[in-house]
Structure 1
Amino acid sequence: MDYMERYPEYKFAASQAQQFEWMRVLYPVLFERVKEKVKSGQFIPIGAAWSEFDANIPSGESLVRQFLLGQRFFEKHFGERSKVFWLPDTFGYSSQLPQLVKLAGAEYFFTQKLSWNSINKFPHTTFYWVGLDGSRVLTHMAPSETYNAQVTSGQLVDSVKNHKDIAYSNESLYLYGNGDGGGGPLEAMLERMRRVEDVDGLPRVKSAHPNEFYEHVKKTAKELVSWKGELYFELHRGTYTSQALTKKLNRQCEMLLRDVEMLSVVAQTVDPSFVYPAEELTRMWQQVCLNQFHDVIPGSSIEIVYKDSTAIYEEVVVSAVALKQQALSSLVASPADAARATGLAVVNTTAWPRTEVVAVPGLAQQAGSGGVQQMRKRDDVALVLATVPGCSVHAVDLSTQAAAVEQVAPVRVVREEDGSVVLQNAFVAARISADGRLTSFVDLQKQRELVPSGASGNVLELFDDLPIYWDAWDIEIYSQEKVRPVRGATITVVDEGPLVASIEVEVKVGKASSMRQWISLSASSARLDFDCDVDWHENRKCLKVAFTWDIYSDLATYETQFGVVQRPTHRNTTWDMAKFEVCGHKFADLSEYGYGVAVLNDCKYGYSALANTMTLTLLRAPKAPDANCDMGRHSFRYAVYPHAGTFSDSNVVQEAYHFNSALSHLPVDLSATNLAALSSFFALDNAPNVVLDSVKAAEDDSRDVVVRLYETYGGHARAVLSTSLDVVAAHATNILEEKDAELELQQAAQGQSVALSFRPFQIVTVRFSASPRK
């Protein structure tokens, strides 16, 4: 503020709504002074988001909330939205960001981090970035190649030399000040800035709002080039894996908050006394978005940060679990003690029907419920077979379990003479060798062996992990030359069906670590699950698991936010080679014509695929900046899922949701409850390539309901979205929930529906207006 008084030309930009919120709460007088400088144009709120987030790890809905919280804060407190998405220092950029930026009311994008690429120099400075769905945003990367410029003549000259698109636009942004660690511009920098405004031999310099720069470029630049798809950062690939607990808690919070919002929307409709917890949900999303800052969730912060962030995540989990339970209790009129339950209220928050085995802790076998399997020794739970329609609460009668189980082919366990064990159901047969490896995986319906002769899956590999510069940030390509397969496992049969069969694998990992793994197959799915418990005490090592398939493709498919991205399985060029470790979300898939296999996970993000071998990175052990990073116990899950057809013909996306969002359940007394009214509170028809991702109350009116959907496989679609909730109107909106075109409501079998059109990878948000309360 003092500099602004003494240097009227000085303009300062701050990019995170979270920081302004802290100032508003802790330093309200200073915040009011800042607001005055915002009005005068010297203090510039910028960025459009709650924090300068990591763009690799957060889910699509998390990115929506970053923009929703950020833009609403800027508009509420400063009377304006940010036109510039400002993200100088994150470690890669999702291909869905251009679409999200546009849907958030912004127009431009700024960064500079790709100048750090370790293999290929990024070829552009000012260009149009074209996203997964075809959305375009005007993008600029500071040719000074820093956000900590010091206002020196050398840096100013370099800004001209490094400008790769100067033939189309001879202007650039220059960010000066001490950024990392705070501090901002110093007085000496402001004095130098005055002196270099118009000096012979240097580019002309002036202080200006970033909007002015972008608007002038948009108006005057001719024939700017375009870059399609993700902006992959060729460095800091270790951030997909470091600080594993942080990533696990983030995924858990994302899935929990999804359930809480959807169930709370329905609960307030069913139960007039239920109040949608809008303020608490906003607070929890703010906390999650804070932890998605680009040095927290990637794992590149100091140790004390993770004590704070873990406490924040765990508090969100506790609060979200409590809110979910409140919503379920409002939906189910007669919850019962598990020991006296006659049935289960099973909740499916996905929009497609699911038949699954549900694990129910503490459920006693009642008379006549002999079909309930209680054999899972490590959990001591009962296993119940449930078939549940999409977006519904469904009653499962425990007294009919025996009959229900008889209708499905049981899963069997076969012990082989060589010590291996075969788990087999109606879909697949999986042979696990005596050392815990998957040596055969047969699709019984297609009579296809998926593991090539002499190869294996579930191969645990331990790498030396010694980056050149930055421990927590980097995984190097040369590390893959120093791999040691983990051997010496012992296996024990744990469960033998009829609903679930599983074996336990114990193996020593490295010098000081160990893993217990439960490999299981249920009667209801072709998916083979691997539940892992690791006691990890390595020093600069990396643990991966590899699967080699009898499938050949030049491309592997990885889930990204609201869609998928394909990357090469070869290293023909330096651009291909640079992607030896890539980011994916809930799955990666390798498919050829007619068949494919996906690797699923519940909290991992680092993948690689070379030829026909897919690898998932499980744990790292960097020693800086946190000397104790990831030391201790970890639990996580991964799975393999075979499917007929190419990826686009499969239901891999749906299966990945199943793996990450288990069916919720509540013990009930069926004689005292009626769940029929809770069937299909939302339904999605005619478009298997469209996913209903989230349902929430509108920000400015908790009676209105916001539904977000996206096209996930890369094709056009026409879908019918119906709801049994009492609604009177529907509108298409942006992600800020502002009404746009009105959608025609049609009568549906249960309630009302709207017809929606999708282009490939399009994100569509629908706002239903509720009937006034009587």
Structure 2
Amino acid sequence: MSTTSNMLYTLEKLKQRIKTIENLRYRDQIELNPFWVLEDHEKEIHPAIPQSSLWEKKSIGYKWSGYDTYLWIKYDEIHLPKTFQNKKVLAYFDFGKHVGDGNNEGFESLAFLNHLPYQAIDANHQELFIPKDFYHKPITLAFRLWSGLTGGHGNKPVHHEVKTSFLCWLDEDVDDLYYTSLAIWETIEVLKMNDPNHEHISQLTELLDRSYLLIDWNLEYQNNQLFYQSLADANNHLNSGLSLYDKKSSINVFCIGHTHIDVAWLWQLKHTREKVIRSFSTVQRLMEMYPEYKFMHTTPQIYENLKLDDPAIYQFIKEQVKKGNWEIEGSMWVEADCNLTSGESLVRQILYGKNFFKKEFGVDTKVLWLPDVFGYSWALPQILKLSEIQTFMTTKISWNEVNQIPHDTFMWKGIDGSEILTHFLTTPWKYQAKDNFYSGYNAILAPFTIDGAWRKYQDKDLNQDILISYGFGDGGGGVTREMLEMRRRMDRIPGLPNVKTTTINEYFDKLHQTVKQKNHLLSKWDGELYFEYHRGTYTTQAKVKKFNRMLECLYRQVELLSVNAYLIASNSFIYPKTSLDIGWKKMMTNQFHDIIPGSSITEVYEDAHRDYEKAYSIGKKALEDASNQLIEQSNHDLTVYNDASWMRSDIVFVPTKSMLSFYDNKLKIQSQKINDGYLIFVRDIQPLSFKQLTMKEENELTKTTVFKYSDLSLKTPYYQVLFDSSFRIESLFDIENDRFVSVEGHKMNELQIFEDKPLTYDAWNIDIFYQEKKTTVDKLVSSEVIENGPVVFILKNIYEYQDSIISQQIIFYANQRRIDFNTHVDWHAKKQMLKVAFPVNIRTTKATYDIQFGNVERPNHWNTSWDWAKFEVVGHQWADLSEGNYGVSLLNDSKYGYDIKENVMRLTLLRSTTYPDPKADIGEHDFIYSLYPHHGTWKEANTQHHAWNVNQPLIPVFGKTNESDCSLFKFNMDSIVVDAIKKAEHDDSIILRFHEYKGNRGKLEIESDYTILSYQEVNLLENELSAWINHHVIKTTINPYEIKTFKIKMKK
């Protein structure tokens, strides 16, 4: 760019001129004033315009406010002037406060044209074009306005003002001049930022300047016709000059319209249903105006509600899907969290999602589209491959705090060796620093975005085609007319990549072809995609996480027992698929990536708890119905069910006030009377089977114990334990293995409090500096031995911390090595985090964590920046530190945040964030964590089995069964976990799904004490992978961490 141009402030002048003509596009403005308003107190989802005598007349400047408040505004009997008849007529509205870009806060409204829903009017969509067939008739415009919420800043009213409403016609020459000028000016700015000597800077600046010199600004307020003619002349000169450039670029930016609509976040599920209607109605209007416009949206849950709420828009979508304008993709029921959600739940997310899209739209989705989730399980590649998904897309991982994943297009290798083509969007945040590798998924189509997305892309040698999803999002809104106009122009401007429209499948089909041709340049990532941010989401909103874990376990049991009942009593028992589907959908909806992580407002969790209660009621009734088919009432019998795929010996709690003794084949069972029942130790229950016990009344209790306790010292059959004065474990000696589990000078089961004030994203983040300030919970209120008998020893301790009470029962067992810490917390802290710490006498450089369909090893040290970043990680039911011949596992029933470094095992129990939910985690909590010291490694010691016992206790039912000791399925390998036994989706076959979890390979045989007639291997969608085999034993091979699913026909 020349020195003369700089001295003359050419670009500054042009920027001002472009801003001036922005409003000149709207010709012959007629103010729409007054208007009528009516408060809407019903808050129904998508109501019609109300018929009421309470409408009030108001004028421009009218102020309205509220928190989750609705207001109707109506303009009656609008007649277009005759001078508008051959023009492009629009109405323009500004109704309220604008906050941010993506309808996260601020007003939103749905416009009704002559009483029919028409489009959204919000901060980013203020034009409403009148269809030509309305030009000769009276027009009524009505708007249902929503005040919005305050995004977790308390229930404060949001204040709005009706600032503007007018009717006009659009001068298409000036509109064209405005957008073309804006696109060129912004391109020049981008080129200057990247290369001040770029050849196109001076060319484009000169073209734009010479065009604007043709505008006779002296006539702006004098001769309207001649002034607008000079604007048209400038536009012709600009477009003629631009057409002379031969744009040559080998880079293609493919664009798909999109609006990210969080199922819930700073708003509730009910608000999302209205956001969807507003956003999708806007898509409809824009598609009528721009035939090249392609739009994509995920989330079957959203479409299912839309089908009920607005059948007309739903039908429009189905028509556009057939035409190829509206793309159905994404695959999951909701865009689910992939850290906390179990493996089987992830399978169901895709199964329900793909089945819905296939049934409703005839579309078989091929992409998992998860732009905004907070981490990516190593199990995902295998899940996707077995669900007929070819490509995985995300972008949130670009928010990593420290380390950047070194590729944006690569093969991601999963826990079992499955590979999935993975692609990251590289769209920059608007005006972000050049060295910032953050990317987004709500692109604004502008030269900065187009240029920046290519510059940020790390695999330029492999691929010259990148993808942008554009449109305002999070709270919906979507694409604007400006974005569509800018795309048309950017595709013509030299110095920028080519800018094309696409569909997701067109883009990824092309990408697959590209990487196939350049496979030698395609990189591979083998391991989890750990997100170095939002680590607090493993813990925040603990009750939601506990409910989810409980329901995942419950629904597995329900399906399994329902299959049992179906096989045994097929004439009288109906498998409860309809009700289970309702429960699964409620569970899956709340696995959305802003609900289960704990990052939503108070009202979202009130809704979630109601959903969970409903799902729980459905599950419990189905469990009772199945049990009633399998177990006959009897006053002298007790049936215990083992839902695990291995033989099991464990404690059973029997609720009863009677004095009883228990027998297994006439052999008396060890039992211990406690306040509200008995604890009995039941041995050797066959896998997936019932065990029949008998009960006899007793006149007196026999009091015996195997535990010796005095003066802070306890001896159990397995351990010598020494407590300190606050009843933390000062010393833990393993008698059987003749070694200390504890570390001298360090306390075990130490409850630790940390100041928890992250820099940003309160509910989401834990920042590493939290470790600088630690307080221990040591104010002991009371301690007492509440049980000491032949089965258990229980020590109850109560602590105070500020306004919070922690009550804990430490349980030692006579017949197993596990030590349980049953904990009740009445939590009232703010901005503080509760952890429990177990320093252990183990030497190893890595820890192992339970994840979906397997486990992952992570560093037990701080060697590299990648290790530092993993200062808080996610695990499911257990984590372990093992040497060659000894180890310690830390188990839990509802926690996910682990912190294991330098042989200190810590579990994060509670947080107390204040944004966006100021009430987060305040109140009462019940949870269990357990310590399991063991001989050998976690594999040899079967840590998985002991974690299962904590999460899925043996099920006792009063009554007797004829199915005692009959295993539904038995496996000849000890490293198999059964994930699901259910009825098939589309026929009467039985689905058996399991995975290998120890990293073993071998020949597997599966038998049943019922009769297997035939079987075939299927994928996670229950589509066949092999032919049917007629045999009573299932024979297959299994690889390390492999998921297998079989469809089985069984004799009923």
TM-score bin (small chain) = over 0.9
Superposition map of 1:438-449 within 5 A: 438-449=729-740
- Equivalent residue for 2:687, pick from 390, 404, 417: 390
Which residue of structure 1 aligns with residue 624 of structure 2? 325
Which residue of structure 2 aligns with residue 485 of structure 1? 776
Superposition map of 1:69-80 within 5 A: 69-80=352-363
State the one-letter code of the partner of 2:971: L
Shift, 1:612, TM fit: 0.9
**Retained in 2: the 8 A contact 1:127–1:140?**
yes
Which residue of structure 2 aligns with residue 359 of structure 1? 653
Shift, 1:149, TM fit: 0.8
State the one-letter code of the partner of 1:286: K
Shift, 1:677, TM fit: 5.3
Which residue of structure 1 aligns with residue 979 of structure 2? 693
**Retained in 2: the 8 A contact 1:262–1:694?**
yes
The Cα offsets for residues 348-393 of structure 1, whole Å up to 9 and x where unpaired, read as 111111122211112512479897745434xx22122222211111
**Residue 918 (structure 2) pairs with residue 620 (structure 1):** no
Which residue of structure 2 aligns with residue 504 of structure 1? 796
Q: For residue 469 of structure 2, give the secondary structure of its aligned residue in structure 1.
A: coil
Identity over aligned pairs, percent: 37
CA–CA distance in 2 between the matches of 1:62 and 1:436? Answer: 39
**Residue 1039 (structure 2) pairs with residue 759 (structure 1):** yes
**Retained in 2: the 8 A contact 1:87–1:110?**
yes
Q: For residue 470 of structure 2, give the secondary structure of its aligned residue in structure 1.
A: coil
Shift, 1:676, TM fit: 4.1
C-alpha distance 215-368 of structure 1, shift in aligned 2 (>3 A)? closer
Which residue of structure 2 aligns with residue 749 of structure 1? none
Q: For residue 458 of structure 2, give the secondary structure of its aligned residue in structure 1.
A: coil
**Residue 565 (structure 2) pairs with residue 273 (structure 1):** no
Superposition map of 1:219-230 within 5 A: 219-221=513-515, 222=518, 223-230=521-528
Which residue of structure 2 aligns with residue 214 of structure 1? 508
Superposition map of 1:133-212 within 5 A: 133-144=416-427, 145-212=439-506
Shift, 1:6, TM fit: 1.4
Which residue of structure 1 aligns with residue 133 of structure 2? none
Which residue of structure 1 aligns with residue 213 of structure 2? none
- Structure 2 gaps of 5+ residues are 1-283, 428-438
- Bigger mean CA deviation after superposition, 315-324 or 464-473: 315-324
**Residue 300 (structure 2) pairs with residue 17 (structure 1):** yes
- Bigger mean CA deviation after superposition, 624-633 or 734-743: 734-743
Q: For residue 121 of structure 1, give the secondary structure of its aligned residue in structure 2.
A: coil
- Equivalent residue for 1:44, pick from 320, 323, 327: 327
**Retained in 2: the 8 A contact 1:423–1:501?**
no
**Residue 830 (structure 2) pairs with residue 550 (structure 1):** no
**Residue 579 (structure 2) pairs with residue 300 (structure 1):** no
**Residue 858 (structure 2) pairs with residue 567 (structure 1):** yes
CA–CA distance in 2 between the matches of 1:376 and 1:612? Answer: 36
- Equivalent residue for 1:584, pick from 875, 880, 893: 875
C-alpha distance 108-400 of structure 1, shift in aligned 2 (>3 A)? farther
CA–CA distance in 2 between the matches of 1:14 and 1:141? Answer: 18
The Cα offsets for residues 458-481 of structure 1, whole Å up to 9 and x where unpaired, read as 010000000101110000100011
Which residue of structure 2 aligns with residue 734 of structure 1? 1019
CA–CA distance in 2 between the matches of 1:657 and 1:357? Answer: 12
CA–CA distance in 2 between the matches of 1:209 and 1:709? Answer: 36
Shift, 1:33, TM fit: 1.3
**Residue 582 (structure 2) pairs with residue 283 (structure 1):** yes
Shift, 1:324, TM fit: 0.6
The Cα offsets for residues 279-336 of structure 1, whole Å up to 9 and x where unpaired, read as 1111111111100000000000111000001110111112211111111111012x24
**Residue 966 (structure 2) pairs with residue 679 (structure 1):** yes
State the one-letter code of the partner of 2:978: L
Alignment length (residue pairs) = 746
Shift, 1:442, TM fit: 2.7
- Bigger mean CA deviation after superposition, 157-166 or 237-246: 157-166
Q: For residue 172 of structure 1, give the secondary structure of its aligned residue in structure 2.
A: strand
C-alpha distance 372-401 of structure 1, shift in aligned 2 (>3 A)? farther
**Residue 886 (structure 2) pairs with residue 595 (structure 1):** yes
C-alpha distance 39-759 of structure 1, shift in aligned 2 (>3 A)? same
**Retained in 1: the 8 A contact 2:966–2:1010?**
no
CA–CA distance in 1 between the matches of 2:937 and 2:886? Answer: 5
Shift, 1:744, TM fit: 4.2
C-alpha distance 401-608 of structure 1, shift in aligned 2 (>3 A)? farther
Shift, 1:743, TM fit: 6.1
Greater relative contact order (Cα < 8 A, sep 6+): 1
Q: For residue 317 of structure 1, give the secondary structure of its aligned residue in structure 2.
A: helix
The two structures, once aligned, show a CA RMSD in angstroms of 1.9
Which residue of structure 2 aligns with residue 518 of structure 1? 809
**Retained in 2: the 8 A contact 1:303–1:626?**
yes
Which residue of structure 2 aligns with residue 705 of structure 1? 990
Q: For residue 588 of structure 1, give the secondary structure of its aligned residue in structure 2.
A: strand
State the one-letter code of the partner of 1:279: T
**Retained in 2: the 8 A contact 1:344–1:396?**
yes
CA–CA distance in 2 between the matches of 1:64 and 1:431? Answer: 46
Q: For residue 319 of structure 1, give the secondary structure of its aligned residue in structure 2.
A: helix
**Residue 128 (structure 2) pairs with residue 128 (structure 1):** no
Shift, 1:649, TM fit: 2.3
The Cα offsets for residues 531-578 of structure 1, whole Å up to 9 and x where unpaired, read as 000000001000000001110111000001000011001111100000
**Retained in 2: the 8 A contact 1:394–1:675?**
no
**Residue 347 (structure 2) pairs with residue 56 (structure 1):** no
CA–CA distance in 1 between the matches of 2:470 and 2:1029? Answer: 52
- Bigger mean CA deviation after superposition, 220-229 or 718-727: 718-727
**Retained in 2: the 8 A contact 1:421–1:434?**
no
**Retained in 2: the 8 A contact 1:595–1:646?**
yes
- Bigger mean CA deviation after superposition, 149-158 or 614-623: 149-158
**Retained in 1: the 8 A contact 2:451–2:496?**
yes
Q: For residue 1033 of structure 2, give the secondary structure of its aligned residue in structure 1.
A: strand
- Equivalent residue for 1:457, pick from 742, 748, 753: 748
**Retained in 1: the 8 A contact 2:645–2:976?**
no
Shift, 1:681, TM fit: 1.6
**Retained in 1: the 8 A contact 2:630–2:961?**
no
CA–CA distance in 2 between the matches of 1:40 and 1:524? Answer: 67
CA–CA distance in 1 between the matches of 2:594 and 2:561? Answer: 33
Which residue of structure 1 aligns with residue 390 of structure 2? 107
Shift, 1:189, TM fit: 1.1
**Retained in 2: the 8 A contact 1:690–1:719?**
no
State the one-letter code of the partner of 1:392: S
CA–CA distance in 2 between the matches of 1:594 and 1:202? Answer: 62
CA–CA distance in 2 between the matches of 1:248 and 1:154? Answer: 44
CA–CA distance in 2 between the matches of 1:559 and 1:648? Answer: 12
State the one-letter code of the partner of 1:604: K
**Retained in 2: the 8 A contact 1:516–1:534?**
yes
**Retained in 2: the 8 A contact 1:455–1:548?**
yes
CA–CA distance in 2 between the matches of 1:353 and 1:713? Answer: 17
**Retained in 1: the 8 A contact 2:661–2:698?**
no
The TM-score with structure 2 as length reference comes to 0.69
The Cα offsets for residues 225-281 of structure 1, whole Å up to 9 and x where unpaired, read as 111111100000000000000000000000000000000000011123011001111
**Retained in 2: the 8 A contact 1:146–1:175?**
no
Shift, 1:445, TM fit: 2.0
CA–CA distance in 2 between the matches of 1:734 and 1:142? Answer: 29
